[in-house]
Homo-oligomer: A and B are copies of this chain.
Amino acid sequence: MASEFDLIRRHFSRPTRHTDLAGGDDAALWRVAPGHQLVVSVDMLVEGRHFFADTDARDLGWKSLAVNVSDIAAMGAAPRWALLALALPEADEAWLAAFADGFYACAEAFDVDLAGGDTTRGPRNLSITICGEVPTGTAIRRDGARAGDDLWVSGQPGRAALALWHLRDHLPLAAPHRDACLAALHRPQPRTDLGPALRGIASAMLDVSDGLLGDLGHILDASGVGAEIDAARLPEALLVDACADAARARLACLSGGDDYELLFTAPAERRADIDALSQRLALPLHRIGHITPPTQGLRLREADGTAVPLTRNGFDHFTG
């Protein structure tokens, strides 16, 4: 057992950049930059629930870290360190090598040190702790949205949902979009450039993991506000092109999870700053609505001007 799991550990012993001591002692030693808070999150992924036994191990390695990196970006912080605790039914060398490859590819892409961990035998379970840094007092939380703020979303929400429906339900996807949708699902790109750049601009922010409406609900709850989404401003064109089904495209955009785009609010007077940021990062930033007083709840303003009340899980006429 010991030597078998020593072998496993060797897959996770690459050099670090932000770490004074990564392994080989009772604990790791990290140095947080002066004047910074530590930003910390943990995520537990269970086989059969969050991923399947036949999930590509390289994709799983990438995604299990990427979704955690996204949590740090969503606070406006820079990711620095990850810990990986891993339970495996057996030491499957090929699986491990592939998982480690994907994990480190993501770590290197987003400048994260794997700086500690644990390995044990057991039903397959990945517990990833991610830590980042943010200048003290500047983290972008969920509770800062105010009535009148604009509502923004980054990039292209909805592609991961189209990919999932493609794989699970054989939803046809047009060839030029299929790979991009599958990549969004399997290799999400956390918005680590955008998140920190929105410090001092965004009033509230989170990453879209469960769907735009559901996650927007967390901002509304935490901030005590409502919101109105402007249907004409939703980035649906590419989704419609991909699946040739406007209703599906809207469902993917508003209720599809797993894209890890950033959803944020900002005062209207920051529009020019946000448009400039979009240019600088070469990343579309869509102003999809605005924050309202809490009494107005969550509504969708259709192109014809009618306002449809929304539940946070989507539209009854789509999902019913």
Contact = CB atoms under 8 A, between A and B. Distances in A.
A40 B28 contact: yes
Contacts of A43: 85, 118
A222 to B, nearest CB: 7
Given A30-B37, A38-B31, A75-B26, A44 B129 contact: no
Contact of A29 (B38, B46, B71, B123): B38
Nearest to A117: B42
Interface string A282-317: 000000000000000000000000000000000000
Interface residues of A, number: 61
B83 A44 contact: no
Interface of A is mostly: strand
B37 A31 contact: yes
A47 B127 CA distance: 15
Contacts of A131: 38, 40
Interface stretch (A8-16, A92-100, A134-142): A134-142
B125 A26 contact: no
B26 A206 contact: yes
Nearest to A204: B25
B37 A125 contact: no
Given A44-B122, A46-B125, 12 more contacts: A20-B37, A21-B139, A25-B206, A34-B34, A38-B131, A40-B131, A42-B85, A42-B116, A45-B120, A85-B127, A123-B123, A127-B127
